[in-house]
Amino acid sequence: MFRHTKHLQFEAKPEKPDALYAMKLQELIGGAFGEMTVTMQYLFQGWNCRMEGKYKDLIMDVATEEIGHVEMLATMVARLLEGAPDDVTAEAVKDPAVAAVVGGMNPQHAIVGGGGPVLADSAGTPWNGKYIVASGNLMADFRANVAAEAQGRLQTARLYHMTDDPGVKAMLKFNLARDTYHQNLWLAAIQQLQEDGVEGPVVPSDLFDEENQEHAGTLWHLSDGTESDQGVWASGPAPDGRHTFEFLADPAALGGPASGPAPKPTQYVTSHADASGKPKQPPQAKGPGERIKDAFQ
């Protein structure tokens, strides 16, 4: 079960309202890498975890913390929207400079949220459950978590430089620190999975004998760039300890032309042949007499 405590994990008090910045801050709530995404991602990873113990407990700890981050940001957005839009705002926008700022606000804050936050990103696009990754494989999921936290911290850092409000900056400093910890946490958890022998570097740790070994370690040089062979990924042992890297400077195509099968005549696809492979015969128009004859038949 979940129990809500009526205190924010960290304070969320802006020095003054700023409707335009409230719209920008929506990205950290409902964006693809926002707090709603990591909240639901970690919750479903925890619920999907089939192994009781430290890994599931860890996931649920962080998932529950992320719910609090959504609450912090939602509270901050509501406080940034204080007094906007209302009669005071309508009067204020008579000043061209103020109108330019207020004009950039998200109208859904007023129309949908009643002066509060909405579950959407900074462009007003609704949050989507397809953003989350919860596969049941901890190695795959933890790697997705590192990426999500990295993108979230990147966006938080950019937003940090978009405001001079001390109250907003104080909260974002806290968020930056938690994103730092969470990146390190998931990186450490990835290492722990390997040390515990639960998962290997390659997901899933299976079908190595069935895969085509000839192509399990080769970098195909397929661009005009000239330095892709200058990294550790181009030669030597692979991180999984089972494969060896190799650089193919001039790889050859292994398949034939990328042509689909002949279409059915009723699909009206432009082609030179019908479904049987024979030259396509266009439908012939029939005269009135033939159409009457066909109808009686």
> Residues comprising the binding site for Ca(2+)?
57, 61, 223, 225
Structure tokens at 186: 């998931």
Map the chain to HEC letters. CCCCCCCCCCCCCCCCCCHHHHHHHCHHHHCCCCHHHHHHHHHHHHHHCCCCCHHHHHHHHHHHHHHHHHHHHHHHHHHHCCCCCCHHHHHHCCCHHHHHHHCCCCHHHHHCCCCCCCCECCCCCECCHHHCCCCCCHHHHHHHHHHHHHHHHHHHHHHHCCCCCHHHHHHHHHHHHHHHHHHHHHHHHHHHHHHCCCCCCCCCCCCCCCCCHHHCCEEECCCCCCCHHHCCCCCEECCCCCCEEEEECCCCCCCCCCCCCCCCHHHCCCCCECCCCCECCCCCCCCHHHHHHHHHC
Cα(241)–Cα(239) distance, integer angstroms: 5
Cα(26)–Cα(34) distance, integer angstroms: 8
Cα(272)–Cα(260) distance, integer angstroms: 13
Q: Which residues are annotated as a binding site?
A: 35, 57, 61, 66, 69, 149, 182, 223, 225
Number of Cα atoms under 13 Å in the Cβ half of residue 135? 12
Q: Which residue matches tokens 């005549």?
A: 265
Q: Which residues are annotated as a binding site for Mn(2+)?
A: 35, 66, 69, 149, 182
